């Protein structure tokens, strides 16, 4: 007799950072660019999550490439960008709960969500992941938000950022990604 295991669903959360003493990533420069994009953004009824469309900035690609390389080397996971946007939350603001599935395009679903924390104070809240295990019980997992950290997880996981209790705005860039 013979049997084999087939994994039908696997949930992952990868937490890391790309901060190094000699890093050339200029979060302040990227933040200024993000603020310009915020001034141009239109928040109408179709943008319920307050996503800020980003103008191309070379360091966005640099950040994504550094994270992709680290994830590939340490986790053997290769991802490519599908869509990118940013969000800013001020003191006492909380983000909207969401996931990054695209119901209008089932065939080209993103497989992963990648979030990079561009700016955050010491008390910037938590990233809260809400997911179900095979027993259909709902679970929450929280991750402390820290500037320079990245969080990579399955796109079907609901998530939100808890209340920002710091005077410094919480700024983050999100990529929906497809596994290669």
Look at residues 118, 116, 124 and name the one whose alpha carbon lies nearest to residue 168.
124
Look at residues 67, 70, 78 and name the one whose alpha carbon lies nearest to residue 115.
67
- Residue 121 in 3-state DSSP? coil
Q: What is the reported pTM? A: 0.92
User: Which H or E run contains 149?
Assistant: strand 149-154
The pLDDT value given to residue 172: 98
SS3 assignment for 82-120: EEEEEEEECCCCCCCCECCCCCCCHHHCCCEEEEEEEEC
pLDDT digits (tens, 9 = 90+) for 130-157: 998 877 889 999 999 999 999 999 999 9
pLDDT digits (tens, 9 = 90+) for 80-118: 999 999 999 999 999 999 999 887 887 788 999 999 999
Whole-angstrom Cα distance, residue 135 to residue 150? 29
Q: Are 79 and 71 in contact (CB under 8 A)?
A: yes
- Residue 53 in 3-state DSSP? strand
The pLDDT value given to residue 123: 97
Q: Are 166 and 120 in contact (CB under 8 A)?
A: yes
Higher-confidence residue: 98 or 9? 98
Q: Among 5-14, 33-42, 84-93, 127-136, whose mean pLDDT is lowest?
A: 5-14
Q: Terminus-to-terminus CA distance in the chain, angstroms? A: 34
Q: Are 155 and 15 in contact (CB under 8 A)?
A: no
DSSP state of 56: P
The pLDDT value given to residue 71: 96
């Amino acid at each position: 007799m013979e049997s084999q295991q087939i994994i039908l669903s696997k949930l992952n959360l990868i937490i890391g950072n790309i901060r190094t003493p000699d890093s050339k990533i200029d979060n302040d420069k990227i933040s200024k660019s993000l603020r310009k994009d915020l001034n141009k953004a239109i928040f109408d009824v179709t943008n319920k999550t307050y996503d800020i469309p980003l103008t191309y900035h070379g360091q966005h690609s640099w950040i994504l490439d550094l994270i992709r390389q680290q994830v590939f080397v340490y986790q053997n996971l290769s991802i490519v960008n599908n869509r990118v946007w940013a969000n800013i939350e001020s003191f006492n603001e909380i983000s909207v709960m969401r996931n990054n599935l695209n119901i209008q395009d089932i065939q080209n679903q993103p497989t992963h969500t990648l979030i990079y924390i561009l700016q955050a104070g010491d008390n910037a809240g938590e990233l809260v992941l809400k997911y179900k295990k095979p027993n259909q019980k709902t679970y929450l997992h929280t991750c402390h938000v820290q500037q320079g950290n990245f969080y990579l997880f399955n796109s079907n996981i609901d998530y939100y950022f808890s209340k920002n209790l710091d005077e410094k705005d919480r700024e983050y860039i999100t990529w929906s990604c497809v596994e290669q």
